[in-house]
Amino acid sequence: MDARLDYFRNPVGGKFLKSIISAGKGLLDSSLSITVQELVRMRASQINGCAVCLDMHTKEAAAAGESAVRINLVAVWREATVFTDAERAALELTEQACRMADGGEITDEAWANAAKHFDEDQLAALVGVIALINAFNRVNAIVQNPAGDYRAGQFA
C-alpha cells in the first residue's frame, strides 16, 4: 500500500506536521504520565482507524515498559481488569471526544470522573493529547499512510 501523498516531504504538509509535532513534545514534559498518554493515543487511533498511529503508539508503549496484555486489551478496556480507575477515566474521555462527530458529547460525568484523578495541569495535558492524536489520525487516514514499519523512538 502506498500513501496518497508524501505528507512529510510536501512543503506545506511538512510545515504543518513540524508544528503539531512541536506541540506534542510539550505534552511529553507535562505531569500526565507517559502511560496514560500512550493508552489515550492507542485508543483514539483504534476508534479513528489510524493504523500508522496505532503501530507507532503500541510500539512506543512497549518500549516504555507497557505489558503486552495491557496493550492488547486497550480496545476492550471496560471489560479488562488491568487498568486503573485513572486510566479508565482517561480512556472514557478519549472515547467521547473521538465520537463527538457521531452525535456524542463529552458528558459532565466523564469530565468529573477525570477531574477526580487528574489535577488541572494533567487535565490540560489530557485534552491536548486527545486533540493532537485526533489531528494525527486524520492526516494519516486521509493520505492513507501505511503501517507496520515504525521503530520505537524513530521520531525522538
Which of 83, 6, 73, 63 is closest to 42 using CA atoms?
A: 73
67-103 pLDDT, tens digit per residue, is 999 999 999 999 999 999 999 999 999 999 999 888 8
Band of residue 5 on the pLDDT scale cut at 50, 70, 90: confident
127-146 pLDDT, tens digit per residue, is 999 999 999 999 999 998 88
Task: Report how far residue 57's alpha carbon sits from residue 54's, in angstroms, rounded to the nearest whole number.
Answer: 5
- All three cell numbers of 152: 520505537
- The reported pLDDT for the residue numbered 3 is 86
**pLDDT at residue 58 above 90?**
yes
| Domains defined for the chain, CATH in brackets | 11-143 (1.20.1290.10)
- The reported pLDDT for the residue numbered 147 is 80
Task: Report how far residue 14's alpha carbon sits from residue 10's, in angstroms, rounded to the nearest whole number.
Answer: 6
As a whole-number percent, the residues of the chain with pLDDT over 90 amount to: 74
- The reported pLDDT for the residue numbered 103 is 83
- The reported pLDDT for the residue numbered 99 is 93
**pLDDT at residue 26 above 90?**
no
> Helix (H, G, I), strand (E, B), or coil: what is residue 38?
helix
pTM: 0.92
Query: Which are the contacts of 141, defined by CB distance < 8 A and separation ≥ 6?
Result: 48, 49, 50
Locate cell 477515566: which residue? 89
Query: Which are the contacts of 61, defined by CB distance < 8 A and separation ≥ 6?
Result: 35, 38, 39, 42, 71
Which of 55, 118, 131 is closest to 90 using CA atoms?
A: 118
